[in-house]
Amino acid sequence: MISCTCCALYEVQYPAPGSPGLADEVKSLITVTSVGSDHKWGLDHGAWSVIRHLYPGAEVPVIELSLDYDQTPRYHYDLMKELSSLRTKGVLIIGSGNMVHNLGLVAWDKFDTDNFAFDWALEASEKMKKYILNDDHEKLINYRSQGKAFEMAIPTPEHYLPLLYALSLKEVNEEVQLFNDKAVAGSLTMTSVIIG
């Protein structure tokens, strides 16, 4: 997460326009569930904290999808495949979260220590990166069966599932790159993945 030292997250403004046409197209492409629209909710910090650095002028239309916590990781992975045609139309799809995200175990006293990770966080992160680079999506989808390090790295799925959304869109021969591969405060990682 990108912090804002000058203000609380809810005070940050990022007035990107929406795109009702794209939102309608997304709704029509998804067949496994019904999709509703909310034109008043606004963007979550998981969206604007990333997008505002890519498009600081807020000139690019943004729509955001919510996660259904009652569904399985496989469901989320398969759901996003229904939106793969958007990539051919120039739609940038961003899955924003953290592969390792355990706020309950953050070492606040190590926040300024460069690239500090607990052993379990490092183990989970290294396995995740290996699975990503080897296209082993099944192990990432079945993260709950990957052992204690994964349990500690992903105590709740909302920061992890966006990775599955992004990976589900990867085509067979597309290149994958990792960047910003840093640990923060022991129990968070900032590793980013570029596909294509």
For the chain, the structural domain boundaries read 98-196
pLDDT for the residue numbered 97: 86
User: Following DSSP, what letter does each residue of 136-180 receive, concatenated?
Assistant: -HHHHHTGGGS-HHHHHH-SSGGGTHHHHHHHHT--TT--EEEES
For the chain, give the mean pLDDT: 89
Give this prediction's pTM: 0.86
Task: Express as a percent the part of the chain with pLDDT over 70.
Answer: 95
How many CB atoms are closer than 10 A to CB 69? Answer: 9
Least confident range of 4-8, 102-106, 141-145: 4-8
CATH code at 98-196: 3.40.830.10
pLDDT for the residue numbered 6: 52
Least confident range of 19-23, 48-52, 83-87: 48-52
pLDDT digits over 169-181, tens only?
Answer: 998 889 999 998 9
pLDDT digits over 32-82, tens only?
Answer: 888 888 877 778 777 888 888 889 999 999 988 888 888 999 999 999 999
Sign of CA dihedral 93, 99, 104, 110: negative
